[in-house]
């Protein structure tokens, strides 16, 4: 398979994680990392769990101007697209054959005198006419009919980039997502959290507020062979988690995150999107006492343990620091209108010991 130019789109803030996942395939080179996207080349079939979607790069040119008349340049770009070559490339990579119809999603940065629907109609109409298929406008909010190919056009102030989705549906729509509940975590974010946890086979991995099971399922796909355990007070959440987990080796049990039924220092990794009252309120022993969540986290982690958690703000990290848990990496995301923090935590004494070991290694001396 010849190398193709691809673009993976992601949640804002996950660009470094997505770039790392692309490079870890061992067969790809990165061309650029931009706003919510990574451009890369590969000759292999790739599956990226931190990506919202993966596209063939169709055209990239200078961004057009801010006036409505500038949309003519985008329409002209659509007239130069090699539709037959794109259809062939997508089919080779396992995508659908041909174009049953055209639907396009546009986004832009900066002030413009046109909106996203003006962009979509200017480009989508030309593509549909050239392909001899119907065009579905998103202007009225109706979903496209089945079989329409998904295109995307972004204007970031520097470039105008036209893309064609590789698959039949966006990459973030997981086949295992049979059941959902309020506050269910976006799967690519869960995948990024699992990757940040540096999982290894044989480790015990816990989600104390597992909801629909997304974090544990993504952990299984990231590194198979870990022991996965989830607790939740809500019976509807436990039912959803078990339904989504299906054949995956994940144990889901009734449990209070403020008083976990596990032994001290028995958990190697904690992955969690705790209920801080944003989408889901805290219940049980956490109701009104969020510090109990941090106490249980500090209690159950092994000496070499690591936690990766999603927080609505940094203020709660004071509880972690007071309990000897130090944030070693913090990444802000932009997720459905909120700005949560993805935080990695480790025990403070382990960090000091690791630094001492690194100093010993660098100087070539032996410990006494």
What's the pLDDT at 350? 52
Q: Average pLDDT for residues 179-190, to the nearest whole number?
A: 92
Q: Average pLDDT for residues 139-166, to the nearest whole number?
A: 93
Q: Quick: pLDDT tens for 17-27.
A: 999 999 999 98
pLDDT surpassing 60 at residue 60: yes
What's the pLDDT at 62? 97
* Mean residue pLDDT across the chain: 90
Q: What percent of the chain has pLDDT over 70?
A: 91
What's the pLDDT at 365? 39
Q: Quick: pLDDT tens for 305-353.
A: 999 999 988 888 998 999 999 999 999 999 888 899 999 999 986 555 4
- The pair of three-digit structure tokens given for residue 366, joined into one six-digit string: 């032996």
**Cα torsion through 236, 237, 238, 244, rounded to 10:** 110
**Cα torsion through 297, 260, 191, 36, rounded to 10:** -60
- The pair of three-digit structure tokens given for residue 352, joined into one six-digit string: 């000091």
Is 18:126 a contact under the CB 8 Å cutoff? no
What's the pLDDT at 361? 39
**Max mean pLDDT range (43-47, 62-66, 290-294):** 62-66
Nearest to 196 by CA among 342, 90, 316, 299: 342
Separation between Cα atoms, residue 313 and residue 332, nearest integer Å:
9
Separation between Cα atoms, residue 10 and residue 226, nearest integer Å:
26
Q: Quick: pLDDT tens for 103-126.
A: 999 999 999 999 999 999 999 999
Separation between Cα atoms, residue 217 and residue 244, nearest integer Å:
8
Separation between Cα atoms, residue 364 and residue 360, nearest integer Å:
6
- The pair of three-digit structure tokens given for residue 284, joined into one six-digit string: 């049980």
What's the pLDDT at 291? 81
What's the pLDDT at 337? 85
Confidence band of 355 (pLDDT split at 50, 70, 90): low
Q: Please report where in the chains the tokens 């549906």 appear, as a residue.
A: 169
Confidence band of 276 (pLDDT split at 50, 70, 90): low
Cβ neighbours of residue 35 closer than 8 Å, sequence gap 6 or more: 12, 109, 156
Q: Average pLDDT for residues 7-21, to the nearest whole number?
A: 97
Q: Quick: pLDDT tens for 201-248.
A: 999 999 999 999 999 999 999 999 999 999 999 999 999 999 999 999
DSSP string, 80-119: T--HHHHHHHHHHTT--SS-S-EEEEEEE-S--SS-HHHH
Separation between Cα atoms, residue 3 and residue 6, nearest integer Å:
9
Q: Average pLDDT for residues 145-169, to the nearest whole number?
A: 94
* Range from 77-86, 135-144, 281-290 carrying the lowest mean pLDDT: 281-290
pLDDT surpassing 50 at residue 254: yes
pLDDT surpassing 80 at residue 44: yes
Q: Average pLDDT for residues 131-139, to the nearest whole number?
A: 96
What's the pLDDT at 327? 96
Q: What is the pTM of this model?
A: 0.89
pLDDT surpassing 70 at residue 356: no
- The pair of three-digit structure tokens given for residue 183, joined into one six-digit string: 């506050």
Confidence band of 358 (pLDDT split at 50, 70, 90): very low
Separation between Cα atoms, residue 35 and residue 294, nearest integer Å:
33
- The pair of three-digit structure tokens given for residue 341, joined into one six-digit string: 């923090």
Instruction: Kindly report the three-state secondary structure assignment for every residue of 213-260.
Output: CHHHHHHHHHCCCCEEEEEECCHHHHHHHHHHHCCCCEEEEECECCEC
What's the pLDDT at 366? 35
3-state secondary structure of 305: strand
∠ CA(247), CA(252), CA(256), 5° rounding? 170
Q: Average pLDDT for residues 114-141, to the nearest whole number?
A: 96
């Amino acid at each position: 398979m010849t190398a193709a130019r691809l673009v993976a789109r992601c949640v804002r803030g996950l660009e470094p994680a997505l770039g790392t996942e692309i490079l870890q395939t061992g067969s790809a080179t990165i061309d650029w990392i931009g706003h919510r996207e990574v451009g890369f080349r590969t000759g292999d079939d790739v599956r990226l769990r931190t990506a919202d979607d993966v596209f063939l790069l169709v055209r990239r040119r200078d961004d057009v101007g801010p006036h409505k008349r500038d949309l003519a340049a985008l329409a002209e770009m659509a007239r130069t697209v090699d539709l037959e070559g794109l259809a062939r490339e997508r089919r080779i990579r396992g995508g659908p054959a041909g174009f049953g119809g055209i639907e396009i999603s546009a986004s832009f940065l900066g002030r413009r005198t046109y909106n996203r629907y003006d962009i979509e109609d200017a480009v989508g109409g030309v593509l549909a006419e050239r392909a001899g298929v119907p065009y579905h406008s998103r202007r009225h909010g109706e979903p496209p009919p089945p079989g329409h190919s998904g295109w995307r056009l972004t204007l970031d102030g520097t470039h105008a980039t036209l893309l064609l989705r590789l698959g039949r549906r966006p990459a973030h729509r997981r086949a295992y997502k049979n059941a959902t509940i309020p506050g269910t975590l976006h799967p690519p974010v869960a995948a990024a959290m699992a990757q940040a946890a540096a999982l290894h086979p044989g480790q015990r991995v816990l989600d104390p507020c597992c909801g629909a099971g997304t974090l544990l399922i993504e952990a299984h796909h990231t590194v198979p062979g870990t022991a996965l355990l989830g607790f939740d007070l809500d019976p509807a959440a436990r039912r959803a988690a078990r339904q989504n987990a299906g054949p995956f080796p994940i144990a889901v049990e009734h449990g209070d995150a403020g008083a976990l039924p596990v032994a001290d220092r028995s958990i190697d990794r904690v992955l969690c999107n705790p209920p801080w009252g944003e989408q889901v309120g805290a219940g049980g022993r956490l109701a009104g006492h969020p510090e109990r969540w941090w106490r249980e986290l500090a209690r159950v982690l092994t000496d070499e343990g690591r936690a990766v958690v999603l927080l609505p703000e940094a203020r709660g990290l004071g509880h972690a620091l007071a309990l000897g848990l130090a944030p070693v990496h913090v990444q802000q995301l932009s997720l459905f209108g909120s700005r949560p923090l993805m935080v990695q935590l480790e025990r403070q004494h382990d960090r000091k010991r690791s630094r001492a070991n690194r100093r010993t290694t660098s100087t070539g001396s032996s410990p006494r």
